[in-house]
A and B are shown apart, each in its own frame.
Chain A
Amino acid sequence: MAIIGSRGRTTAPLPPAQSDELTRPEAAAEAGLTVVNWIDERAQLSQGLRWMMFRKVPKGINWAYTLGSATMFAFLNQAVTGVFLAMYYRPSVTGGAYQSTRNIIDNVFLGQFVLSMHLYGAYLMIVLIFLHMARVFFFGAYKYPRELSWIIGVVLLILTLAMGFTGYLLPFDQRSYWATIVGVNINGTAPFLGPYISDFLRGGPEFGATTLSRFYAIHMMLIPGLMAALIGFHLYLVMKLGISAPPWLKAQEPEVAIEKVEV
């Protein structure tokens, strides 16, 4: 048994086939490698991947540093479950939105499960993004040269909250309807611009025929696209700048460097 998959070593009896012939798993592995090599020879992705994955990280990093990735996985969960919910959801004010939501819950196989993944996933993402922000804040990780990561993070936070706001209307029951009325009016209280913001959100002076489809388009296309792009840039900065060291680590004298400086 020990030999399968390790061609060349002959510590045990050879398999019944001829020794220089590949076993099936070996052949499959070989073929896979060939495909990967074929792609990499043309796209040269492995260099970038190595740059991304095998970075140096400071000593003493801990679980708190995983909160950003956790937020990203929450976002991916929202994206995947959201795409599948969109296959059953109908953004129609005259009953379609509410009925199609009921249909997802009552009839669609795993519908209630996927809808709950999306709903509780949204709560989780809000919790995680604030925890991640708190980690960055208390570790002082927003300081030079990572201010831009922080600024993009703030935009991501606002977009995440906007996702929560626009998504809340979609089931179109009494609660989502009135919560949205109240939410739009809260936006309307912004001095000077408020009245125009609320008109923009509703798509008119009153909650109208297009308000729901407007929220739906913002919720499923506009903001997710923006967020995906910004998350990409955020992660690029993390890789480019490296992760910050925890604040309780004293900066160590790099002895080698000092020797060189002394000359």
Chain B
Amino acid sequence: MPEDPHSKSSKYTADRGMPGAFEGETVTRRRFMSAVTHGAGGIAAASFGLPALGFAIGPVFKRTQWPWQIIGRPEDFVETVYSTKIVTMVQGIGDAGKTVAYVRKRDPAIDTEPHDQYNNYIALWNRCMHLGCPVRYVQAAERFICPCHGGIYNFRGQVAGGPPVRPLDRFYTYSPPPGERGHGYVYLGPPYAVNSELQRLSLRDPAQPLDGIGQYFYPPQFDTAKVPSLQHLPLPPTVPGT
């Protein structure tokens, strides 16, 4: 009976009767060659596959730069009415990069969330917390109303009805005190998310709740912008002849 070439009786190829086997050889040259060929193919594929994959998923790990931008002077804003400010979210893509902030002065009588230097002006983002349609502020009702699926928010941006899962996102605002760089202007910073208590939390997409059991399902994104430094606030361009 011919000997089975694959029998595992010995780990040495010479013992297994391989033609041309070397003394002490355990891997046949044929197997070694095919392993090297597969390895080389794998390295070649990985050398273009991995960079391409990293290129495609890189944006997930990107951190956003969010400079302070001037949205007006302190006297432009009152406590009882929101003014509409068009702000640039993404540079260089025209209208598609613009969005709307609704801004008013903080009213200590109703704005019961903790007060600090970043919320002397309340700035709400018009992005609906159901699925991201643009909400509209209706002064007569003192409500924010979403055109898509009937989401309604009260004057402070808290959900008053419909499918939204959390209050409207807000922007950091800053108005430098007298003597500081930028005094006399109101600046708008990066957006942040709030839960139903209006606690400040890192930004996330619409439809991701920040209360109840839902808050545990959505890890914060990597891309959350940091509050930029107050040292180099941009100043408005000087008007010639003044």
Contacts and interface: CB of A to CB of B under 8 A. Distances in A.
Nearest to B209: A189
A172 B95 CA distance: 12
A97 B216 CA distance: 39
B1 interface: no
Contact of B93 (A93, A186, A198): A93
Interface string A202-220: 1111111110000000000
A195 B204 contact: yes
B219 A195 contact: yes
B132 A95 contact: no
Given A177-B96, A194-B208, A207-B96, A199 B131 contact: no
Contacts of B94: 93-95
Interface in A124-168: none
A188 B148 CA distance: 18
Contact of A200 (B59, B92, B208): B59
Interface in A207-238: 207-210
Contacts of A202: 59
Contacts of A181: 131-133
Contacts of B221: 195-196, 199, 205
A191 B132 contact: no
Nearest to A212: B96
A188 B96 contact: no
Contacts of B93: 93-94, 208-209
Contacts of A192: 217-219
A178 interface: yes
A205 B207 contact: no
Interface in B198-219: 203-208, 217-219
B135 to A, nearest CB: 12
Contacts of B203: 205
Contacts, number: 92
A189 B90 contact: no
- Looking at chain B's contact residues, the main secondary structure is loop
A99 to B, nearest CB: 12
B64 interface: yes
B89 A189 contact: no
B195 to A, nearest CB: 16
B89 A182 contact: no
Contacts of A199: 59-60, 221-223
A195 B205 contact: yes
A10 B204 CA distance: 87
Name the residue in A94, A188, A210 with the highest tally of chain B Cβ atoms < 10 Å from its Cβ.
A188
A196 B206 contact: no
A178 B133 contact: yes
A189 B133 contact: no
Contacts of B56: 200
Given A93-B93, A208-B90, A185 B131 contact: yes
A107 to B, nearest CB: 23
Contact of A195 (B92, B96, B208): B208
15 contacts: A94-B93, A94-B94, A94-B96, A172-B96, A181-B133, A182-B133, A185-B207, A186-B131, A188-B205, A194-B208, A204-B59, A205-B62, A205-B203, A205-B225, A208-B90
Interface of B: 56-57, 59-60, 62, 64, 89-90, 92-94, 96-97, 131-134, 148, 203-208, 217-225
Interface of A: 93-95, 172, 177-178, 181-182, 184-186, 188-189, 191-192, 194-196, 198-200, 202-210
Given A192-B218, A204-B59, 11 more contacts: A93-B97, A184-B205, A188-B205, A188-B207, A192-B217, A195-B220, A199-B223, A200-B56, A200-B57, A200-B60, A205-B224
